[in-house]
A and B are shown apart, each in its own frame.
Chain A
Amino acid sequence: MRSLSLLLGGSLVGLFFAAALVSFFWTPHGVEQIAIQLRFLPPSAAHPLGTDHLGRDILSMLMVGARTSIAVAIVAVGMGVALGVPLGLVAAATRGGLIDEIIMRGNDLIFAFPALVIAILITAVFGPSALNAIIAIGIFNTPVFARVTRGAALSLWTLDYIRAARVAGKGRARISVEHILPNIANLLIVQGTIQFSLGILAEAGLSYLGLGAQPPTPSWGRMLADAQTMVALAPHMAIFPGLAIVLTVLGLNLLGDGLRDLLDPRLRRAR
């Protein structure tokens, strides 16, 4: 079961990364070539997933769209890690203190804003763009990583070897970086995988509403928005981008589950 999750998840994720990478060099058709006479074609040998309302090849669009999804999600997760992990480490190192309290209450506050509502506020002020989508998703990722980091770090702080390090004269900042961080890396990788999949879903949702990546940049969410009004005429336009999202998110979730079991020996024994 565990190795199956890893294998299946890894393959799906690998497939989409590969598709995104290959799209830099090659796609079956150009994504900017509009050919109205070829529009709404059902899947065929020349267009394996059919064409859209402008005659563009859907497979090619999906490949280039994977780039957008992956880029937005990765940068947003990176932002969450870069802001959240240090905050979590500081909170744990000053546990129970004023700084800890401020950081944790700030977290609660951000959690009260659904990610999409943050995105809506940001787009209302700065206009829709992929960058603003990244910022919105990244802001929401920050408290998640801060919380996970703090929780894991707190339990490490009680261990003997950390006390030994304190006795040896190391400061709290140095201990956090040298001893705590490497020991919670596993957990952060697993959480990162989960947040990555949530990021892909969020990007798709924002782009679907027109608040994310702007045309002509292909994006899975935008493709679904275009498809919606024509779903009676060309159902394949709606089906394939949605499948791409589902398979990527499913792959990431399975990979996350598999990694968690693999990296946490306690869970391995329990199951």
Chain B
Amino acid sequence: MLRHLAERLLSLGLSLFAASLVVFAVIELVPGDPAAFMLGMGATPEAIAALRRELGLEGTPLTRYLSWAGGMLTGDFGISYTYRVPVSQLVLDRLQVSLPLAAYALLLSTVIALPVGMLAAVRRGSATDMAVMGTTQLGIAVPNFWFAILLVLVFSIKLRWVGAGGFPGWEVGLWRGIGALTLPAVALALPQASILARVMRSAVLETLSQDYMRTARAKGLSRRQAVFRHGFRNALIPVLTILGLQFSFLLAGAIIIENVFFLPGLGRLVFQGITQRDLVVVGSVVMLLVFAVIVVNFLVDIAYALADPRLRRPA
């Protein structure tokens, strides 16, 4: 197990290093001088030069990379060109929206998908199964931002139950905050839940045909007990992997959904960074997103090994 952990850690470090090189290289390719862009027309060359120094644009690419990567590691993400505040401050503010949104969506999709997928597997071939398969097929095909627009149309415009977007902030109360995140979370969760329900169904089906299920029945467990105690737990292993993979789709989905609902989250921050050509923000936030994806996949890998001892041994 220790050796497995060490190998995964090494690979984690290498992945992060490679990813940081890619992001840095892409940002370096940007045409034009960011300092001149930020100061606008009519700026004196001295002012531009001073700002270039301040932004760390002087020096060789190597020293720039080292100071950028070193900054990322110590929580110094640079100063935003447009907001003129530290990017770390912006990120912390935006995380208060993005993290709860992602967690909410993940919770919704898991709570819906696992029982539904299991039900479909246990009643394989029944009308319930057909309905689940049909609905999830549709759920995968629906773009989440279109679903979001439909939700706004029905619940905000026709029924007037919730606002059409924006976020009041957590200061006004937990429930109002959660209320503002509900439609976005539902819109994000739908395609995730569809995929997850299908994975759960096939994972449970797989376990149902295993010998240990027959043993469980033979020792006197009812079908229901056997499915819950043995089928469900074994089916969770592939489901866990998919959950990890979905995390990156959830992040990408959040970029679009936050824009549909005008939520001040990380996705909207990076999108505004592009339209305002604020490269410090874009580079740092993209790197953070990639960092999150790599770390989550690492954690899933470790959880996987904890859940299934066969995977701990080197292949």
Contact = CB atoms under 8 A, between A and B. Distances in A.
Interface of A: 105, 108-109, 111-117, 120-125, 197, 201, 204-205, 208-209, 211, 224, 227-228, 231-232, 235, 238-239, 241-242, 245-247, 249-250, 253-254
A121 B141 contact: no
Contact of A125 (B26, B140, B149, B152): B26
Contacts of A113: 19, 22, 290, 293
A194 to B, nearest CB: 10
Interface residues of B, number: 46
A97 B175 CA distance: 56
B157 A232 contact: yes
B256 A116 contact: yes
Contact of A117 (B15, B138, B252): B252
B150 interface: yes
Nearest to A211: B274
Nearest to A224: B146
Contacts of B29: 125
Interface string B3-15: 0000000010011
B26 A209 contact: no
B146 A242 contact: yes
B143 A109 contact: no
B286 A121 contact: yes
A112 B290 contact: yes
Interface of B: 11, 14-15, 18-19, 22-23, 26-27, 29-31, 137-138, 140-143, 145-146, 149-150, 152-153, 157, 248-249, 251-252, 255-256, 259-260, 270-271, 273-274, 277, 279, 282, 286, 289-290, 293-294, 297
24 contacts: A105-B18, A108-B15, A109-B19, A109-B22, A111-B248, A112-B19, A112-B248, A114-B293, A116-B252, A116-B256, A117-B290, A121-B23, A121-B286, A124-B274, A125-B30, A204-B146, A208-B145, A224-B143, A232-B153, A242-B142, A242-B143, A246-B138, A250-B138, A253-B140
Given A109-B19, A113-B19, A254-B137, A125 B289 contact: no
B297 A112 contact: yes
Contacts of A112: 15, 19, 248, 290, 293-294, 297
Nearest to A232: B157
A231 B145 CA distance: 13
- Most chain A CB within 10 A, of B31, B141, B142, is at B141
A211 B267 CA distance: 14
A198 to B, nearest CB: 10
Contact of A197 (B19, B26, B141): B141
B277 A116 contact: no
Given A120-B270, A125-B26, A114 B152 contact: no
Contacts of A239: 150
Contacts of B26: 121-122, 124-125
A204 B143 contact: yes
B150 A242 contact: yes
Given A113-B290, A205-B256, 19 more contacts: A105-B15, A105-B18, A108-B15, A109-B22, A112-B297, A114-B251, A114-B252, A120-B270, A123-B274, A124-B27, A124-B273, A124-B274, A204-B143, A242-B142, A242-B149, A246-B141, A247-B141, A249-B143, A253-B137
Nearest to A5: B137
Given A112-B248, A125-B27, A120 B149 contact: no
